[in-house]
């Protein structure tokens, strides 16, 4: 069965700019999952890696700007995800038969990170007495 990643509105965190970036990440991941050849996969992974870094940088700037208390821990999670993406990409590109591990990671990390971490930034910013 082919892996896919589909956006659901349950993943909205209530910050428009962030939600748009998350939706674009879903598209990039879905395209990556559908790559069959090595060169194609490599290009998709480079694109995904770059955009993920961009997204993390933007999200970290937003957390700093609003004085988000969980900043340090959240940045740690971002760094772990980036190095995991890097590591699993290398293994998969070395041997396409080993890409299961990468695909499982791709299907899960963004959804889990949004629902467990990013959602808290949304709640913080949208709390009735914030700012």
Q: How far is the CB of 26 from Fe ion (least distance, A)?
A: 11
Residue 58's alpha-carbon distances to 6, 12, 13, in angstroms, are: 23, 17, 15
- Alpha-carbon radius of gyration of the chain: 15
* Shortest distance, position 129 Cβ to Fe ion, whole Å: 24
User: Rule CB under 5 A: is residue 19 a binding residue for Fe ion?
Assistant: no
Do 57 and 65 touch, CB atoms closer than 8 A?
A: no
Pattern 44-63, binding to Fe ion, x per CB under 5 A? ---------------x----
| Tokens of residue 14, six digits | 């209530």
Report d(CA 84, CA 78) in Å as an integer: 10
Q: Which residue, 76 or 87, is less far from Fe ion as judged by CB?
A: 76
- State in angstroms the smallest separation of the CB of 74 from Fe ion: 6
Among 118, 119, 124, 130, binds Fe ion (CB under 5 A): 118
Binding footprint of Fe ion on the chain (CB under 5 A): 59, 118
């Amino acid at each position: 069965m082919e892996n896919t990643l589909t956006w659901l509105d349950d993943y909205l965190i209530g910050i428009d700019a962030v939600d748009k970036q998350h939706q674009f990440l879903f598209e990039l991941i879905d395209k990556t999952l559908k790559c069959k050849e090595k060169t194609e996969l490599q290009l998709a992974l480079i694109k995904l890696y770059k955009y993920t870094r961009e997204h993390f940088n933007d999200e970290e700037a937003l957390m700093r700007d609003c004085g988000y208390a969980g900043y340090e821990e959240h940045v740690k999670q971002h760094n772990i995800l980036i190095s995991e993406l890097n590591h699993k990409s290398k293994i998969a590109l070395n041997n396409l038969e080993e890409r299961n591990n990468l695909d499982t990671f791709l299907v899960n990390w963004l959804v889990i990170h949004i629902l467990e971490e990013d959602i808290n930034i949304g709640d913080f910013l949208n709390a009735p007495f914030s700012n």
